[in-house]
Amino acid sequence: MKQALANALQERGYETLTQVQEAVTQPDVEGRDLLVSAQTGSGKTVGFGLALAQDLLGEDEAFGEAAAPLALVIAPTRELALQVKHELGWLYREAGARIASCVGGMDMRDERRTLERGAHIVAATPGRLRDHIARGSIDLSQVRGVVLDEADEMLDLGFREDLEFILGEAPEDRRTLLFSATVPPAIASLAETFQRDAMRIKTAGETKQHADIEYRLMSVAQADAENAIINVLRYYEAPSAIVFANTRAAVNRLAARLTNRGLPVVTLSGELSQTERSHALQAMRDGRARVCVATDVAARGIDLPGLELVVHAELPSNHETLLHRSGRTGRAGRKGVSALIAPPKARAKALRLLKWAKLTAEHCEAPSADDVLARDEERMLADPVWQQPVEENEQAGVQTLLDNFSAEQIAATYLRLFRSRHSAPEDLRPAGEEEPRKERKAFGPSVWFSLSGGRQAGADPRKVLPMLCKAGNIDRDAIGAIRVQDNETFAEISEGAVDGFLKALDGKTELEPGAVLTRLSEAPDLGPAPRRGPGGFKGDRKPKPHRGKEEGPKPYRRKAEAGEDSRPPRKEWKDKPARDERREPRAETRPSKPKPAVTAKPKGASDPSKRMARPGAPAGKPFKAKGPKPPAGKPNSKKNKARAAAPQTAKGGKGGDARPKRSPSGPAKHR
């Protein structure tokens, strides 16, 4: 290992290398293409930085003057590319490396000027790097190594065509390193196409569960899924936590809910600009925000310090995404918790994801309100402030409290102040208990009213209900059944609300034009409520006429019922004559004339009538010279007689200068 890199690792606090870092720095892998799969957070960035050192520096301990880039590091997202730039920056600082970035969302002109000044390593996203190559603003002729970081995610995001273009433009003798958390068939196919005799490296941690991540499958009632997220965040009170959702709409909804509960929240989704994303991540790093609500793509590859909790508000679509999400915590030896929120409808999917990812999770229920409050008390009593002695400047205030209040009052006040600084937890139902359906209560004593105008006038309960509420200044709960008849509408109003209803009407009986209100002395006899279907009320439907004719049975059926059927009796099949007997005999026709015999002509003989026949003319007709067209109009007019008497040319036109000549300046008559 180069001394400059060893010094950087020691300064950073590295005592020993991780498994993946040791695997890629072995002498037998030097100079070979690598296909490396390792768990997220296992130090892959530093690993490929160490693996490229020999290719970039050679026998030197430091870089020379920066010119065309010597290495490309391609990452799926802007945040990950900038994070790679930061990690390689401190690793190669003593070696004098100049590292540039080419990512979407940044000013392309600034990136072009940076590349013109020279760079040793370029960290880029696929789309922006392809744009620079197409514009000719980056020279790949000196590239010695290409790294594809999170290669599986780049393929999932549809960057395969861009990657093939970039790798096709890079020199063939380059070294290609593929780093990925998983190696699906698409990654293996890409490795076979663009790598030469690649060496497959699997770390020991790939085949077993991450020891620093604790997985918990939390069962919740279907209606308490979002409430459980609040309790999980309150139970752990992590310095920083990330909540994953599947869509932007879900991210915005959860962020609004958590913000209303007093939690400092930022969001990461595809709709944010690069500046907004940078501000959100900086707020998490500074401690101004403790919860980040994000989608999978937006949070891919980000490294937040002190991230101890990952909450899967919505389950991912596959187990690879589950591993990537959970890999945001438990990094660099730190412990973390990955909590899967599993309502009854999602529990089977959660079990499948854990099985496919070969993970063992602790099955439990989401923390209840009592669990959260008990955990708060533990944290309160574990606060080191209890062990600190009373300072001299605090003696007077402490004595004042003791003189005026009892110890119980002081303790209760402190407990209230402590709880006021935290959001109250949610009261959750047991995991197997669902929200009971609301049963309709009995309406009780009521008074019936009638409104003139029914179904034929366009009356509808959805129109009658707001009309009664507005006119009588009553709530909709005070109105019971509304029955719309053909010419009248009946409404039931609670007996306790009738006086206020009539007082608000102030003697007015016509609520709307054509709707006159009348109080009834007793309930009307309406029978069962009609069912309303897509075509209206069942009683409103009229029978369709039979085949477009008048309604009812056919006329002959009515006559048959009355004994007046005048139809002729049906002829039986056996009485019908045979087909040949029904056919009329064919009339005799005259015999046709015999065709004359055709005699063969000797070869070379020709018909004089066809000697001058024009192409396409019927056979047997002699050629006729084409004459002038017959004059239009009346045949005996003076004009036509004059045209007929005029001498004809060989082409059938008028003789001499009878036809005017055209010139470029226009017709002859205008000259």
Q: What is the pLDDT of residues 39-74, one digit of tens each?
A: 666 778 888 888 888 888 888 888 888 889 999 999
Among 34-48, 126-140, 549-563, the least confident range? 549-563
Place of tokens 């069912």: 531
CB 70 within 8 A of CB 121: yes
Tokens linked to 407: 């110890």
Residue 431 CA, chain-centre distance (Å), reads 30
Using CA atoms, how far apart are residues 40 and 329, in angstroms rounded to an integer?
9
> Which span out of 119-133, 450-464, 531-545, 651-665 was modeled with the highest average pLDDT?
119-133
- Please give the domain boundaries of the chain with CATH numbers for all domains: 3-207 (3.40.50.300), 213-375 (3.40.50.300), 446-526 (3.30.70.330)
SS3 track for 101-162: EECCCCCHHHHHHHHHHCCCEEEECHHHHHHHHHHCCCCCCCCCEEEEECHHHHHHCCCHHH
pLDDT band, residue 293 (cuts 50/70/90): very high
H or E element, residue 234: helix 225-236
The arithmetic mean of pLDDT across residues 385-411, rounded, is 88
Other C-beta atoms closer than 10 Å to the C-beta of 369 total 15
Using CA atoms, how far apart are residues 501 and 498, in angstroms rounded to an integer?
5
User: Is pTM beyond 0.95 here?
Assistant: no
pLDDT band, residue 652 (cuts 50/70/90): very low
Tokens linked to 61: 């301990």
Tokens linked to 161: 């065509």
Give CA angle at 264 (263, 266), nearest 5°: 125
Using CA atoms, how far apart are residues 301 and 344, in angstroms rounded to an integer?
31
Backbone angles phi, psi at 43, to 5 degrees: 85, 35
pLDDT tens-digit profile of 75-110? 888 888 888 898 898 998 888 889 999 998 788 899
The arithmetic mean of pLDDT across residues 522-527, rounded, is 80
Phi-psi region of 462 (alpha: psi -120 to 50; beta: other; left: phi over 0): alpha
DSSP tag of 43: S
Tokens linked to 414: 């402190």
pLDDT band, residue 601 (cuts 50/70/90): low
The arithmetic mean of pLDDT across residues 555-583, rounded, is 54
Instruction: State the helix-helix crossing angle for 126-135 and 108-117, rounded to 10 degrees.
Output: 70
Using CA atoms, how far apart are residues 145 and 629, in angstroms rounded to an integer?
86
Per-residue confidence (pLDDT) for residue 571, from 0 to 100: 54
CB 143 within 8 A of CB 174: yes
Tokens linked to 243: 């909540």
pLDDT band, residue 536 (cuts 50/70/90): low
Closest CA to 350 of 328, 309, 310, 322: 322
What 3-state class would DSSP assign to 44?
A: helix
Give CA angle at 632 (627, 638), nearest 5°: 95
Across 616-646, b (16+ Cβ under 10 Å) vs e yields eeeeeeeeeeeeeeeeeeeeeeeeeeeeeee
Handedness of CA 211, 213, 214, 218 (dihedral sign): negative
pLDDT band, residue 371 (cuts 50/70/90): very high
Place of tokens 């007046």: 564
452 DSSP β-pair partners:
488
Using CA atoms, how far apart are residues 252 and 235, in angstroms rounded to an integer?
23
380 DSSP β-pair partners:
none
CB 187 within 8 A of CB 178: yes
Q: Alpha helices, DSSP H only, in 170-216? A: 185-194
Other C-beta atoms closer than 10 Å to the C-beta of 112 total 15
Closest CA to 68 of 184, 170, 186: 170
Using CA atoms, how far apart are residues 291 and 239, in angstroms rounded to an integer?
9
Other C-beta atoms closer than 10 Å to the C-beta of 568 total 5
Among 293-302, 406-415, 437-446, the least confident range? 437-446
H or E element, residue 369: helix 369-381
Using CA atoms, how far apart are residues 204 and 4, in angstroms rounded to an integer?
29
CB 597 within 8 A of CB 606: no
> Which span out of 40-54, 215-229, 578-592 was modeled with the highest average pLDDT?
215-229
H or E element, residue 218: strand 213-219
Q: Which tops the pLDDT comparison, 543 or 350?
A: 350
Using CA atoms, how far apart are residues 1 and 91, in angstroms rounded to an integer?
12
Per-residue confidence (pLDDT) for residue 668, from 0 to 100: 46
Per-residue confidence (pLDDT) for residue 628, from 0 to 100: 56
